[in-house]
Structure 1
Amino acid sequence: MNAKTELAKRLSETFSGGTPVTAEALAAILKDYSITKESDEQRSDLHRRIKYYLGAKRIDGLSDKTLGNYRCNLEMFAARVNKSAAKVTTDDIRGYISYLDETRHLKDTSLQTHINTLRAFFGWLHTEEKIKKNPMSKIKSLKLDKKGARQALTVEELERLRDACQGYREKALVEFLVSSGCRLSEVAQLNVSDLDLVGRTVRVVGKGDKERPVYFSVRARLMVQEYMVSRKGGTGLFVSSKSPYEPLKPRAIQRIIRAISERAGLEKHVHPHLLRHTFATHALNGGMDVTVIQKLLGHEDVSTTQIYAEMSDETIKHQYNKYVAAN
């Protein structure tokens, strides 16, 4: 029995008799104990631990966007769970996940993002020996339909998306995303001056601040040129429709794509990343070598590209007949 438990037991025995307890009696019980008031920092040091964790991840090379997402998710957790990191339990984690699910009504994919963030954070604390037990060790990942979530748009669905565009800004945005395979963050930071319209190419800065050339279609070039004629100002490739015509932020681009897909009546949740996936899938089914797609997407490992690019059964059969069946 530790000192805290022993003290609690003795106090319980003293008060359970129903007789008023004198100061002298309490002093006699407490004379063998050293009592200090727990500070607010000791009670909840999570904010400080989060700061150190993000600092370590910045040194590891994580992008500002990723660090910002980590900070948002972890600070939300710290505000909800007012404890020191060492005292956070598995039940605290489970209660927080239930809160996100039942009260905040987050989708499974968003819930899994929070779980992944907490797993990485507490795993780091455990590795750094800041906590003795990892409360995430018994928390399992959700079973997500990853294949269904990243299912590329069909040719018909893509045409419906194009038909639902209103104005050349929307048309140029959809064509550029689906023909270049660029990430949302890469498109958001582009300026008009970055584009080589004759060569239909542009250099983008991707993950890890790595620069690479990407290409866009003739249709995308035509839509961009028409958009540049109708736009009123701004230096960004895609800008707001009101003065001072600031470049569209990633969230604004997401909202535009979502609005187009709703007008098109598509059942799928369409977002910029799905258009990137659609680019990879259609390129692979069209016969493009997967290592070329890898370079265009800016992937370090070809296995990542293979997750994005799903080959249709018809293409597989055609490739088999072309290279095997005739021999």
Structure 2
Amino acid sequence: MDAKQELVGQLAALMPGMVEEIARIVGDYRISRELSRERCGLERKVSAFLAARKIDGLSPKTLKNYREMLSAFAAKVEKPVTRIDTDDIRGYIAYLAQERGLKDSSIQTHINTLRSFFSWLDQEDAIRKNPMRKIKSLKLDKFQARRPLTPEELERLRDGCRSYKEKALVEFLVSSGCRLSEVAGIRADQIDWRERSVEVLGKGGKRRVVYFSVRASLMLRAYIEQRKGGEALFASSKAPYEPMSPRAIERAVETVGVRAGERRRIHPHLLRHTFATNALHGGMDLTVIQHLLGHSDPKTTMIYAELRPDAVKYAYERVIA
């Protein structure tokens, strides 16, 4: 029995005596049965994509972000992966903007994730046509998104700190240039107080030595002396004083930013960016900055060397005027 006959039979059972009428109505339609494996195909493809990216060496945090965004997409679209078209993608982007109220930068992250996912499906010959080909990236103000803190903003951020813990966290981040994950992994007994340095574990399991300022050293000592316990450099305030998670550090920095009256979100990577920009404008060699940041590719460090009007003026007055 084909799908059409099965449907007629099921409807006739619900409406006895109307078999001929039902058969006439569905006669001109092409009816196929959607298999359960097709309905869950998108979720399975997402799992396969994440597994492939894990083999490629993506970090657990990136994989987690991919999983959350693609799961949200699958829950909203609810279509077999082979039937998703460009209109579905556009509808989802509109949903992110209008119903979820996401900022353009966050929407662009979703677009980038979907582009990566569907490009992988295309390469794997899992789809006939890539629905992301006609989806353009949003026009973002990249400079504003990456703009480091000005000296005035940094001072306001310092004024927004209420405890030695917050002061130590802000000063260490902005003077060391450490990544969030690196800061979360430091133990207090690893600190070389004389050299104001510490060895951190960076991306790819690579270790390097970073340094921190005199101000950071003073704030760290004051914080460690007054806290109740903990082996981590930045530990939880409550017993058993476990190391602060990366997310907890993020929240702490963001809270200070809100308290300081900053309109944009203040996060650890912004302080890392501020460190690099200040180092560059202060005359530090780009290769040294690359080492301190733990960049394996100098092109990544070159992001901080982009010419801005104030940077051009600074360089001119320093050398010529």
Q: State the TM bucket, normalised to the shorter chain.
A: 0.7 to 0.9
Name the counterpart of 1:14: none
Q: Under a length normalisation based on structure 2, what TM-score does the superposition of the two structures give?
A: 0.87
Name the counterpart of 1:22: 20
Structure 1, 210-219 or 174-183: larger mean CA deviation: 210-219
- The answer to whether the 8 A contact 1:188-1:247 is kept is yes
The 5-angstrom pairing of residues 6-45 of structure 1 reads: 21-22=19-20, 37-45=33-41
Q: How far does residue 210 in structure 1 lie from its aligned partner after superposition?
A: 2.3
The 5-angstrom pairing of residues 308-319 of structure 1 reads: 308-309=304-305, 313=309, 316-317=312-313, 319=315
Name the counterpart of 1:261: 257
Instruction: Find the aligned partners of 2:307 and 2:177 in 1 and give their Cα distance.
Output: 17
Q: CA RMSD in A?
A: 2.8
Name the counterpart of 1:141: 137
1:193 aligns with 2:164: no
Aligned with residue 124 of structure 1, among 120, 127, 130: 120
Secondary structure of 1:203 counterpart: strand
Name the counterpart of 2:302: 306
Task: Spell out, residue by residue over 1:163-218, the C-alpha distance to the aligned partner (whole angstroms, 9 max, x if none).
Answer: 22111100100000000001112112222123222221122222233222211112
1:224 aligns with 2:206: no
Instruction: Find the aligned partners of 1:218 and 1:310 in 2 and give their Cα distance.
Output: 29
Q: Under a length normalisation based on structure 1, what TM-score does the superposition of the two structures give?
A: 0.85
Q: How far does residue 20 in structure 1 lie from its aligned partner after superposition?
A: 5.1
Name the counterpart of 1:98: 94
1:170 aligns with 2:145: no
Aligned with residue 212 of structure 1, among 194, 208, 211: 208
With over 3 angstroms needed to count, the CA separation of the structure-2 counterparts of 1:154 and 1:198, relative to structure 1, is same
With over 3 angstroms needed to count, the CA separation of the structure-2 counterparts of 1:25 and 1:231, relative to structure 1, is closer
With over 3 angstroms needed to count, the CA separation of the structure-2 counterparts of 1:234 and 1:84, relative to structure 1, is same
Instruction: Find the aligned partners of 1:309 and 1:164 in 2 and give their Cα distance.
Output: 29
Aligned with residue 274 of structure 1, among 255, 265, 270: 270
Q: How far does residue 51 in structure 1 lie from its aligned partner after superposition?
A: 1.1
Structure 2 unmatched ranges of 5 or more: 9-16
Alignment-mate amino acid for residue 201 of structure 1: S
Structure 1 unmatched ranges of 5 or more: 12-18
Percent identity over paired residues: 58
Task: Spell out, residue by residue over 1:39-70, the C-alpha distance to the aligned partner (whole angstroms, 9 max, x if none).
Answer: 22212301111111111111111111111111
Alignment-mate amino acid for residue 83 of structure 2: K
Secondary structure of 2:199 counterpart: strand
Secondary structure of 1:228 counterpart: helix
How many pairs align?
307
Structure 1, 308-317 or 297-306: larger mean CA deviation: 308-317
